[in-house]
Amino acid sequence: MRRLSIILCAIAAALLAPAAARAGISDTAVKAAFIPKFARYVSWPSSAPGRTNAQILICVIGDDPFGGMLNQAATGQEADGRPFAVRHLASAAGASDCAIAFVDGARTGEILAALGRQPILTVTEAGSQRGIIHFTIVDGRVRFFIDNAQAQARGLTISSRLLALAIGVNQR
């Protein structure tokens, strides 16, 4: 009986370890899938540099937790009849053509400050520095907060449909 218990514990441990690893990858994949979809619920000012490009440019600035997942999630998708392109940047330099910027890493605050009030939808995760959309995990699910006041200050309009999905909205 004791031997059976040990065997069952070993099997359970072997099965749970890959599940935990898949959960981390799954959260990252869900975030990657969300990012292009946000563009369908955001309006940029007509004067925004990203509005004149043939593609909607998603930039990853700083650390890239996605590997190829964001590129894969954006491939074949469109918003306003325009396809997505993904660019990876080490800093905010060169980000003026970005419509969406995912910012991550130790320099998140510095990068967000460098982006200033440009009409760029900033997306962040973890840490205390938050972009307009900020991912978090609640009860094992990917959720997000929206800073609508920050969006409005940048000339962005976020659809009430997206605001309704957020777990918190800053309107001030």
pLDDT (tens, 9 = 90+) of the chain, 172 residues, equals 433 333 323 333 333 334 444 444 589 999 999 999 999 999 999 877 666 568 999 999 999 999 999 999 999 999 989 999 999 999 999 999 999 999 999 999 999 999 999 999 999 998 778 999 999 999 999 999 999 999 999 999 999 999 999 999 999 7
Sign of the four-CA dihedral 105, 111, 115, 116: positive
Structural domain includes residue 149 = yes
The Cα diameter of the chain in Å comes to: 73
C-alpha 150/C-alpha 143 separation (Å) is: 19
Predicted pLDDT of residue 26: 80
Q: Which of 23, 29, 34, 91 is nearest to 60 (CA)?
A: 91
Predicted pLDDT of residue 153: 96
**Number of compact structural domains in the chain:** 1
Structural domain includes residue 76 = yes
- pLDDT tens-digit readout, 133-142: 999 999 999 9
- pLDDT tens-digit readout, 44-62: 998 776 665 689 999 999 9
Looking at residue 66, which CATH number applies to its domain? 3.40.50.2300
Predicted pLDDT of residue 49: 66
Structural domain includes residue 72 = yes
Structural domain includes residue 45 = yes
Predicted pLDDT of residue 48: 75
Residues 6+ apart with CB under 8 A from 68: none
Per-residue tokens: 103? 């910012």
Structural domain includes residue 44 = yes
Range of the domain at 55: 24-170
Structural domain includes residue 154 = yes
Predicted pLDDT of residue 51: 60
Structural domain includes residue 18 = no
Predicted pLDDT of residue 10: 32
Helix H or strand E encompassing 151: helix 148-153
Task: Count CB atoms within 10 A of the CB of residue 146.
Answer: 23
